[in-house]
Amino acid sequence: MTSPDPIPALGAVKPPLTPAPHVRDWTLLKDTYWIVYPEYTIAYELQGNSLGTLTLPKTDPATITRILDQTVYHIQEVDPRGYLWGSVAVTLVDPSWDNGSHPQPSYGTLLSPITPTGDWILSTTVNQGATALQQPSQTWATGKMVWMNVDGTDQWTMENWKVGGYVHWAYMIQAKPGDKYWNDLPVVHQSIPEFMAGAKPPVNPVPYPTANN
């Protein structure tokens, strides 16, 4: 199967050279963008008993198809007591049937707890006409913040696992304006602002009294 996007050899994300810095809380994630690193865009979809994530025809026996997944998380806000929320955009590409053309991204709102050790469980709580995000209020991904060396620089990355019609694990890295991936997102070759243009940021919650009030 010919891929529309070259997949580099594994190895650019490696064990870190320096110890992980101490994190008092995860407010450092506020207003950050996280993307799937190029070498981890491959995912797999099981088709057979249902139409599948990409609404492909039923098959018997079941088939396993290699697809490409580019996901961007925009973490809009972080509660230092251990919660984060924001928006997500996803594009899935099956080179075997779409001739390499890239479908429009699907959008959703994300909400997750995050523990002091960096573990999180992401739910998509709003369906914005998504194909990859099929149901509201579903557990859609899990992961952990890990200190890794990416392209020679030690930095925080996200280990990310997704199961929902397809399976995918990846290292996700932070992208910032001026970075090479900010203007050329792997798989879709758009800028992050273009890719996220259809996402609707959630409204921040009204301040709620704490237990000490």
Residues contacting 210, CB < 8 A, separation 6+:
none
Which residue segment(s) compose the domain that 21 sits in?
13-195
**Does a structural domain hold residue 209?**
no
Give the C-alpha separation, 139 to 164, whole Å: 9
**Does a structural domain hold residue 5?**
no
**How much is the pLDDT for 56?**
56
Give the C-alpha separation, 86 to 196, whole Å: 12
**Does a structural domain hold residue 4?**
no
Q: How confident is the model at residue 200 (pLDDT cuts 50, 70, 90)?
A: confident
**Does a structural domain hold residue 7?**
no
Number of independent structural domains in the chain: 1
Give the C-alpha separation, 148 to 158, whole Å: 9
SS3 116: coil
**Does a structural domain hold residue 208?**
no
Partners of residue 182 on adjacent β-strands: none
**Does a structural domain hold residue 3?**
no
Residue 50 has pLDDT above 60, yes or no: no
Tens-place pLDDT, residues 176-196: 999 999 999 999 999 999 999
Tell me what the pLDDT averaged over the chain comes to: 81
Tens-place pLDDT, residues 66-102: 999 999 999 999 999 999 999 999 888 886 665 656 5
**Does a structural domain hold residue 80?**
yes
DSSP alpha helix (H) spans, the chain: 95-98, 180-183, 192-195
**Does a structural domain hold residue 200?**
no
